[in-house]
Chains A and B, each alone.
Chain A
Amino acid sequence: MTIAPEKTQLSTDTQIQLRIGDEWLAVCPLSRLTPGRGVAALLPDGRQAGLFLDRDGVPYAIDNRDPFTGAQVLARGLIGTAAGRPFVASPLLKQRFDLETGRCLDDETVSVTAYEVRLH
């Protein structure tokens, strides 16, 4: 799930927050993200998430671990749109993952965790 923000509301100290259980975890200021790319965040339990911003400023978050190689690299992939769905392509072997659902677009048996994100 994602919540599209009103662009006009954004200010320099807008934070990206990630939902972990019932808590919203503040990750970083929005300004740290480049539209079209991602960054990695360390979660309290040691897992990693990839946070992305699309060209319209909509944020997404999925697990950072590429299930095909085991490496924590999804945040370093390129994002795009396929059949209307936003995706990130793994920088290693190029499989694409739906940024909203975590589903792998190139292998339906594979998916990664998708996180809820918001701008606050």
Chain B
Amino acid sequence: MAAMSTPAITPTIVVVGHGMVGQRFLEALADRGVTDRARVVVLCEEPRPAYDRVRLTSYFSGNTPEDLSMVEAGFMEKHGIELHLGDPAESVDTAARTVTARSGLTLSYDTLVLATGSYPFVPPVPGKDAEGCFVYRTIEDLLAIEEYAKTARVGAVVGGGLLGLEAAGALKGLGLETHIVEFAPRLMPVQVDEGGGAALLRTIENMGLTVHTGVGTQEVTAGENGAVNGMALSDGSVLPTDLVVFSAGVRPRDQLARDAGLAVGERGGIVVDEQCRTSDPAVFAIGECALASDGRVYGLVAPGYEMAETAAAALEGEVSSFTGADTSTKLKLLGVDVASFGDAHGAADGCLDVVYSDSRAGVYKKLVIDPEGTLLGGILVGDAEAYGTLRAFTGSVPPVSPEQLVLPAGSGAPVALGPAALPDDAVVCSCHNVTKGTIRGAVTEHSCTTVPEVKKCTKAGTGCGSCVKVLGQLVNAELEAAGVEVDKGLCGCFAQTRQELYEIVRVLRITSYQELLDGHGREAARGTNGCEVCKPTVGSIIASLAPTIGASGYVLEGEQAALQDTNDHFLANLQKNGSYSIVPRIPGGEITPEKLIVIGEVARDFGLYTKITGGQRIDLFGARVDQLPQIWGRLVDAGFESGHAYGKALRTVKSCVGQTWCRYGVQDSVRMAIDLELRYRGLRSPHKLKSAVSGCQRECAEAQSKDFGVIATANGWNLYVGGNGGATPRHADLLAQDLSDAELVRLIDRFLMFYIRTADRLERTSTWLERIEGGLDHVRDVVVHDSLGICSELESLMADHVAGYRDEWAETLNDPERLLRFVSFVNAPDVPDPTVKFVPERDQVKPDLPLLSIRPLDEALEGTAAR
């Protein structure tokens, strides 16, 4: 340690506040090696180390406080930084150069850095401290809101700005009837203009939120128990509510500095110079608590990061200054894209607007340009696709006319103004101030080949995330330019991806694997037997498209039989001893006692091990291949059909009991689950599909962990997509709200068919949604707004599937030719396989496994059987 060699003169740096900017400052110190030469002590008021406040709301969509952490594991230890959690600084003595914390700890400093952030402003209305009033700034705030919302029905947010809308979205997500009260005549008055506010308002009202603009909150009223019961508004009306969140702006936390005699601005903020030094040269202030040299307090994280770098540089005597920053923002509020950049309100002299507005679709776009055609700024509501590129073009004359930049794709001549057109010094990631040149350098000089690598190398894209799309395009373009060929082919036999093969099969109506391989496979693979990767994949593509391309929908028909994995080939699941398990479909999990009895009788008569599965149905294990037809025969006679537990196909649609019985239910979730399961049964897809329907927000069916999950609302259904349990769980994203039965089904039809069309082999909807360019936004554009104009085609593909569905078990039972395959031995059809044996366990059976002379060596292969 450097400190050991120079013990006497180790300087001490004390940092007050461990928020986003404080942490960034520590990283900047570590990068410069300062942490090796100085003692660094951090006083942190909150009970946890710095976390990503920008993504705070994602806590409600499943991110844990740990997920949000901004501190890499071991960071503090590695750099010898002393972090005191839950111990805020209470006073500073600038003369003695000491800081005293609440615990009584007094620290001497050589340099003090204040990074105390902001506090939420609560208007001084009577009743503001009643039980049920909250602010929205810390994880603790969210935990408290979440807890209180459990007993609340209605919630109101005071403030219709950026954070207010975010808070309102959170309340809505918690199942509350949600109101927004905004004093200004429009929503987000700071970021958007009147037109943008109007577009935003329409969209937000369509989502079932109630907006009150142009009214102030005069009083919060409470009941006898001291808990909030309503708000009195300035127009004389009363808004009954159980919970209030104040989100009326933030104020810099400068009290500590004030008390210490440091200069503060008239309207708050610790005065700093271009190096972020306060009126006392030994004290710096950075982030939201600072009043920058341009006279502004910045409420965004990117300028804070710049200040952190500036202060760290100043400590090291480097030349650096912070003189102001870009306040461009792109947000997704309640699923609506809102972006503003540069001179959004057209404050410059003689500037002109180009506006495109479509109230019906809730889209509003405005560009501000000067008479010479230089792009000065703009506002995008409802469709912020172009944000990344437009922001980077700000200050220059874009290569195409402004009208073309705001027209929606598909109308007139759409231009995709690719990032390729950007100059190298264009800032692509404004959170971390990363230019296009730096990103290109990461690929060409640091040999990064993927977006995650480039993120790690340049930090680009690791802030608000709004630049990731442009980042991906730049990385690919650079790789292509460098002639790096990434083999995206499906396997050794096909150079195409699954998606490309799907298109070939669909357009050319190819119904044979051999024809596809011989005509479109890699040169060396043509005429061969293919492989175990592409055969089931192509088999699945043909099955998905069967009715449309004129193939047989029956997976054991002709050549298709040879393509199926063993499970699909035998319409049952292979178990470790060579026996099979059987899962009859139980749509929605609803089953009559008679049918339950039949399952019990079949299991008893064939000696099958019986278990309730994790998917709300019943699995019968231990059938020999020659017993399968007899077992199906009994089940089919009793009205059962295949549950496709073996297929990359729809598995179950779980339900909760819902409105019919449950005191909380608001819709008939069982009926909807049955309808959905019957509609999509048999649908072959890139990976298995799971679904669930819950009767209310309590979510007993766990719909948000499903590929498509449905939750009942008072007005209809909310549709969530991309959820996953399994190895890498993912909470589903809300695709659309308050849908009618018909709207719901239509949207799921489109979603599933779009997924089937574009996903890779064995890619669940969750990974697909994360991978596909544009992510959820893009998928929503395609399936909700029909941006590609393919929705009617997707719907008709699904209609073909539904019309063509037949039960595979019944079909096989009716086909004597096929039944011949269900024997243990081709030359001894009546002999059961003597190696499939069982021993008793807990009143049932389990496989009697053969002794192995060789153990599987490659653990990695395990579990891939059904993949």
Contacts and interface: CB of A to CB of B under 8 A. Distances in A.
B862 interface: yes
Contacts of B853: 67, 70
B565 interface: yes
Contacts of A86: 529
A46 B831 CA distance: 11
Interface residues of B, number: 49
A41 B529 contact: no
Contacts of B529: 36, 54-55, 79-81, 86
Contacts of A40: 824-826, 833
A42 interface: yes
Contact of B562 (A35, A41, A67, A68): A35
A39 B562 CA distance: 12
Contacts of B563: 36, 78
Given A28-B827, A81-B529, A71 B576 contact: yes
Nearest to A43: B827
Nearest to A41: B827
Given A40-B825, A94-B865, A73 B578 contact: yes
A43 to B, nearest CB: 9
Contacts of B535: 36, 78, 80
Interface string B850-861: 111111111001
A32 interface: yes
A94 B566 contact: no
Interface string B804-838: 00000000000000001100111110010111100
Nearest to A29: B826
Interface residue SS majority, chain B? loop
Interface string A13-45: 000000000000001100010111101111000
Interface in A59-115: 67-73, 76-82, 84, 86, 89, 91-96, 106-107, 110
A91 B566 contact: yes
Nearest to B857: A107
A110 B854 contact: yes
Contacts of A55: 514, 529
A54 B56 CA distance: 58
Contacts of B834: 46
Nearest to B849: A70
Contact of A41 (B492, B826, B855, B862): B826
Interface in B631-688: none
Nearest to A69: B576
B864 interface: yes
Contact of A68 (B492, B833, B835, B854): B854
A109 to B, nearest CB: 8
Contacts of B786: none
B817 to A, nearest CB: 10
B258 interface: no
A48 interface: yes
A61 to B, nearest CB: 11
B361 interface: no
A70 B858 contact: no
A91 B864 CA distance: 10
Nearest to B517: A55
Q: Which of B514, B820, B858 has the most CB of A within 10 A?
A: B858
Nearest to A37: B562
A117 interface: no
Given A34-B561, A80-B531, A69 B856 contact: yes
A104 B293 CA distance: 72
Contacts of A119: none
A71 B826 contact: no
B569 A76 contact: yes
Contacts of B92: none
B826 A28 contact: yes
B335 interface: no
Contacts of A32: 820, 826
Contacts of A80: 528-532, 535
Contacts of A41: 825-828
Contacts of A72: 578, 833, 835-836
Contacts of B855: 68
Nearest to B533: A80
B850 A71 contact: yes
A27 B854 CA distance: 29
B626 to A, nearest CB: 11
Contact of A27 (B531, B574, B827): B827
B856 A76 contact: no
B536 interface: yes
Contact of B852 (A36, A70, A106): A70
Contact of A42 (B574, B825, B850, B851): B825
Contacts of B828: 41-42
A28 B861 CA distance: 34
B497 interface: no
B721 to A, nearest CB: 30
A94 B578 contact: no
Interface in B775-829: 820-821, 824-828
Interface string B533-564: 00110000000000000000000000101110
Contacts of B525: 81
A93 B854 contact: no
A60 to B, nearest CB: 11
A46 B825 CA distance: 12
B528 A81 contact: yes
Contact of A93 (B514, B831, B864): B864
A88 B595 CA distance: 40
Nearest to A25: B827
Contacts of A110: 854
A35 B570 CA distance: 16
B628 to A, nearest CB: 12
B713 interface: no
A39 B566 contact: no
B562 A94 contact: no
A95 B825 contact: no
B492 A70 contact: no
B627 interface: no
A55 B515 CA distance: 12
Q: Which of A48, A51, A68, A91 has the most CB of B within 10 A?
A: A91
A57 to B, nearest CB: 12
A45 to B, nearest CB: 13
A65 to B, nearest CB: 8
Nearest to B852: A70
Contacts of B562: 34-37, 78
A81 B525 CA distance: 8
B577 interface: yes
Nearest to A82: B531
8 contacts: A48-B825, A71-B835, A78-B536, A80-B529, A80-B535, A81-B530, A94-B861, A107-B857
Given A27-B826, A34-B561, A70-B849, 12 more contacts: A34-B562, A41-B825, A68-B855, A69-B576, A70-B850, A70-B851, A78-B565, A91-B567, A92-B576, A93-B861, A107-B857, A110-B854
Interface of A: 27-28, 32, 34-37, 39-42, 46, 48, 51, 54-55, 67-73, 76-82, 84, 86, 89, 91-96, 106-107, 110
